[in-house]
Structure 1
Amino acid sequence: MRVNAYEHVGIRVSDRARSVAFYERLGFREEIDLPAHHANEMATADGVRINLILNGVARDGASNLLQDEPVKWPGLTHVAFVVDDLGALEALLAREDIAITEGPVTLAGRRRTLFIRDPDGTVLEFNQLLDAA
């Protein structure tokens, strides 16, 4: 058995309309509504998928329980996506008034990366992979 890809990542959100609109600004489109599961499926044109889990409770200031609290609990701390042009993403984020919370920086000579947060404070990482040569 080999793990050769991931199918989707689930992101719990507190406000469906606000979150769907945010992820649409990043190029995702809602494809499937799963009301019995309090979720949806969203995908990019290239087939990168996320599920929004639509039963979250908002925290003051969109504080991220796993990232912003002094006690570091186990769990998923961020989602990392690959993009073909980090500069184009930066331009999109500027046009959409989405704040970059860190970066862009080059990490380990392998990728150029930046971080943003969704409206609930979930950390999203975007990477442009660099040529090893």
Structure 2
Amino acid sequence: MTFKVTAYEHVGIRVSQRERSIQFYEVLGWKEEIDLPEHHANEMVNESGVYINLIFNGISDQHAKNILQDHSIKYPGMTHAAFVVDDIDALINTLKQENIPITDGPHIYSNRRKLIFIRDPDGNVLEFNEILK
């Protein structure tokens, strides 16, 4: 192989309501850095330099169903983004204070990490992991 992937730069997350989504991701520590109105998107970054792009052209589904996760037919595609946190219990407390439900977990996986799953207001699945020492 003549090249190697050296890092993961960002994940794009399609959402239906700009302000609602920005507020949700701000609770998780991201702040809008660049607005890209010509692309119906933005770039958000957290204090650790982890980027996400919100893409503001999703169709609103009142039930926030995720076509890749919530339907019996399993379509190909990215099912979720996974992030590493330094303190999952602190994140869990923040989620409780903000009334953001944990949809799965917490679980210990392979004695290596503790993880939870949540969903954003559009049903996009987010995984958060604390690497256990």
TM-score, shorter chain, exceeding 0.5:
yes
Question: How many angstroms apart in 1 are the aligned matches of 2:61 and 2:78?
Answer: 17
**1:116 pairs with 2:112:** no
SS of aligned partner of 2:102: coil
Q: How do 1:1-133 residues align onto structure 2 when only pairs under 5 Å count?
A: 1-131=3-133
Question: How many angstroms apart in 2 are the aligned matches of 1:31 and 1:76?
Answer: 25
Question: How many angstroms apart in 1 are the aligned matches of 2:6 and 2:94?
Answer: 30
Question: How many angstroms apart in 1 are the aligned matches of 2:54 and 2:131?
Answer: 26
Could you tell me how far 1:37 is from its partner in structure 2? 0.8
- 1:14 alignment partner AA: S
TM-score (norm 1): 0.96
Question: How many angstroms apart in 2 are the aligned matches of 1:129 and 1:39?
Answer: 31
- 1:107 alignment partner AA: Y
Q: How many percent identity over aligned positions?
A: 60
- 1:130 alignment partner AA: L
* Number of aligned positions between the proteins: 131
Question: How many angstroms apart in 1 are the aligned matches of 2:12 and 2:33?
Answer: 15
Question: How many angstroms apart in 1 are the aligned matches of 2:104 and 2:84?
Answer: 16
Q: Which stretches of structure 1, 4 residues or more, deviate above 3 A after TM superposition?
A: none
Question: How many angstroms apart in 2 are the aligned matches of 1:86 and 1:53?
Answer: 27
Q: CA RMSD in A?
A: 0.7
Question: How many angstroms apart in 1 are the aligned matches of 2:94 and 2:6?
Answer: 30
Could you tell me how far 1:4 is from its partner in structure 2? 1.9
Q: Which runs of 5+ in 1 are unaligned?
A: none
Could you tell me how far 1:60 is from its partner in structure 2? 3.0
Superimposed CA distance per residue, residues 37-76 of structure 1 (whole angstroms, 9 cap, x where no aligned partner): 1100001011110000010001230000000000000001
Could you tell me how far 1:15 is from its partner in structure 2? 0.3
Q: Which runs of 5+ in 2 are unaligned?
A: none
